[in-house]
Chains A and B, each alone.
Chain A
Amino acid sequence: MTQTKHPRKTVYLDYAATTPVDTRVIEAMRPYLDSMYGNPSSLHFAGRQARRALERARETFARGLNAQPNEVIFTGGGSEADNQALISVAEAKQNQGKHIVTTPIEHHAVLASCEYLETRGFEVTYLPVDSEGLVHPEDLKRALRPDTILVSVMHANNEIGTIEPIAELAALTRERNILFHTDAVQTGGILRIDVQELGVDLLTLSAHKFYGPKGIGVLFVRQGTKIRPLIHGGEQEHHLRAGTENTAGIIGAAKAFELALEAQEQEATRLIALRDDLWRRIQSKVENVRLNGHLTRRLPNNLNCSFYQTEAEGLLLHLSRNGVAASMGSACTSQSIEPSHVIQAIGTLPEWKRGTLRFSLGRFTTADDIAYAGEMITQLATEL
């Protein structure tokens, strides 16, 4: 068994879990941690300074999403934004109906919010997904009812990388006056996001997925959308999110978003080439391996594959000992020894599902990293 106490190289292939903060982002944040520390709600010069920076950050996100600045709400993370999109909208619209539609492959922030709403008398329909994780518009069409108030389908899946047909799905809800939320945590900064083209009413981003700081979420709320605050106790964020704004974090998030958008196309092309190279390396040496997710409608940085009759945790542990960081599913479920809910939902057969690993590439992944990771993965997968 290949087992090295001091690996000759370390390769981080878990960018879908989190990313390092870009040094340019840290530089942008630094003044707001020391010299420009004012509370944006304060009336004096220090407060005004922070307020101006905060509103510029809001404009950055609005421009990047093709939204209006007053449609951008900063939260304490992607999970909070998802919770607000689901719970606060459902509560605000419950007089119109109590039916919500989502999918079984959403992030737990959405699924757990739905479970919570079920305890509050809401009914949730979980749309089927096909073996590649795709949601089909005709299934959504069938699921919609006169009392449906909200549909939530993620932009791209965090585990298998499948990109959902959001524009087509949202068009179905728009014509019926039903709100549409998409969790775009995995696509923010990676894919072009235009809320007008997508036709969504609510959209979630998380800064630490695109080289920004942790603890900053962004919720796009289309003007006129009925929504309540989730956190009470202040008038911040257009009365929708109480609490003193994390100015430095928000400035960092905006800088990170700006940087990600600047290099988006070239970076996507580069990542696709590296990811496909990794897949080729694995496929050429490991006999029993299969790709999960859609072949083409997938995130540029995502490779999710299953190794036949292999215990993924063992593979992950040995990879880690050899300097390669990967994941069994999403970071939030990786402590669980059971195959993830996504792998189960796409109908993966038992002999494959326990051997599922996700490799997610990012800004600092190099061709050398892929060569080393490829060598380790193939060697260990063959030995195990």
Chain B
Amino acid sequence: MTMARAGEQLSERCQRAGIHITVAYLDLWVSDFLPPGTDVVIEMFPYFKNLSIPVISGRPFLSGMGEKELFESIISTLLEIRSHDSN
């Protein structure tokens, strides 16, 4: 799956789960600057370390194996962040 397609699907799934998200794509060859307010990073290969926000491996998007579980894991992470924020 392409990153753009993964981003679209993630937005749709999040919408269904009642979360509105904005997906930003980083081209690490150009910059690794994370937009302010970023809640979660999905990386296609190990890159980020020591971030204060969750970093999830997006490898299943590339291999096609474990995609469903990955979507679920991202959504549950986002829900958790939202519940922390509302507290």
B53 within 8 A of A: no
Q: Are A1 and B63 in contact (CB under 8 A)?
A: no
B residues less than 8 Å from A311 (CB atoms): 44-45, 59, 62
B33 within 8 A of A: no
Q: Are B63 and A314 in contact (CB under 8 A)?
A: no
Q: Are B62 and A354 in contact (CB under 8 A)?
A: yes
- In the complex, A351 Cα to B63 Cα: how many Å? 8
**CB within 8 A of A313: which of B2, B45, B49, B63?**
B45
Majority SS of interface residues in chain A?
Answer: helix
Majority SS of interface residues in chain B?
Answer: loop
Q: Are A314 and B45 in contact (CB under 8 A)?
A: yes
Q: Mark A309-343, 1 if CB is under 8 A from B, else 0.
A: 01101110110000000000000000001000000
A384 within 8 A of B: yes
Q: Are B44 and A317 in contact (CB under 8 A)?
A: no
Q: Mark A349-365, 1 if CB is under 8 A from B, else 0.
A: 01100100000000000
A383 within 8 A of B: yes
Q: Mark B1-23, 1 if CB is under 8 A from A, else 0.
A: 01100000000000000000000
**CB within 8 A of B46: which of A337, A350, A351, A383?**
A383
- In the complex, A310 Cα to B45 Cα: how many Å? 8
Residue of B28, B44, B45 with most chain A CB atoms under a 10 A cut-off: B45
Distance from A136 Cβ to chain B, minimum over Cβ atoms (Å): 32
Q: Are A317 and B28 in contact (CB under 8 A)?
A: yes
A317 and B49 in contact, given A311-B44, A311-B59, A354-B62 (Cβ under 8 angstroms): no
B residues less than 8 Å from A383 (CB atoms): 46
Q: Are A1 and B45 in contact (CB under 8 A)?
A: no
Q: Are A1 and B49 in contact (CB under 8 A)?
A: yes
**CB within 8 A of A350: which of B3, B47, B59, B63?**
B63
Q: Are B63 and A317 in contact (CB under 8 A)?
A: no
- In the complex, A337 Cα to B2 Cα: how many Å? 9
B59, closest chain A residue (CB): A311
- Please provide the chain A residues from 88 to 133 with a CB less than 8 Å away from any CB of chain B in the complex: none
- In the complex, A350 Cα to B3 Cα: how many Å? 18
Q: How many A-B residue pairs have C-beta atoms within 8 angstroms? Tell me.
A: 29
- In the complex, A45 Cα to B47 Cα: how many Å? 62
Q: Are A1 and B28 in contact (CB under 8 A)?
A: no
B43, closest chain A residue (CB): A314
Q: Are B46 and A1 in contact (CB under 8 A)?
A: yes
- In the complex, A310 Cα to B57 Cα: how many Å? 12
B2, closest chain A residue (CB): A337
Distance from A329 Cβ to chain B, minimum over Cβ atoms (Å): 15
B residues less than 8 Å from A314 (CB atoms): 44-47
Q: Are B62 and A1 in contact (CB under 8 A)?
A: no
- In the complex, A354 Cα to B63 Cα: how many Å? 9
- In the complex, A350 Cα to B65 Cα: how many Å? 11
Residue of A310, A311, A314, A317 with most chain B CB atoms under a 10 A cut-off: A311
Distance from A307 Cβ to chain B, minimum over Cβ atoms (Å): 11
Q: Mark B41-69, 1 if CB is under 8 A from A, else 0.
A: 00011110100000000010011000000
- In the complex, A51 Cα to B47 Cα: how many Å? 55
A residues less than 8 Å from B45 (CB atoms): 310-311, 313-315, 317, 384
Q: Mark A253-291, 1 if CB is under 8 A from B, else 0.
A: 000000000000000000000000000000000000000
Q: Mark A37-68, 1 if CB is under 8 A from B, else 0.
A: 00000000000000000000000000000000
Distance from A55 Cβ to chain B, minimum over Cβ atoms (Å): 44
Distance from A13 Cβ to chain B, minimum over Cβ atoms (Å): 17
- In the complex, A101 Cα to B27 Cα: how many Å? 39
- 10 A-B residue pairs with Cβ-Cβ distance under 8 Å, sorted by A, are A311-B59, A314-B46, A314-B47, A317-B29, A317-B45, A337-B3, A351-B63, A383-B46, A384-B45, A384-B46
Report A's interface with B, CB cutoff 8 A. Answer: 1, 310-311, 313-315, 317-318, 337, 350-351, 354, 383-384
Which 3 residue pairs across A and B have the least CB separation, nearest first? A314-B45, A311-B45, A384-B46
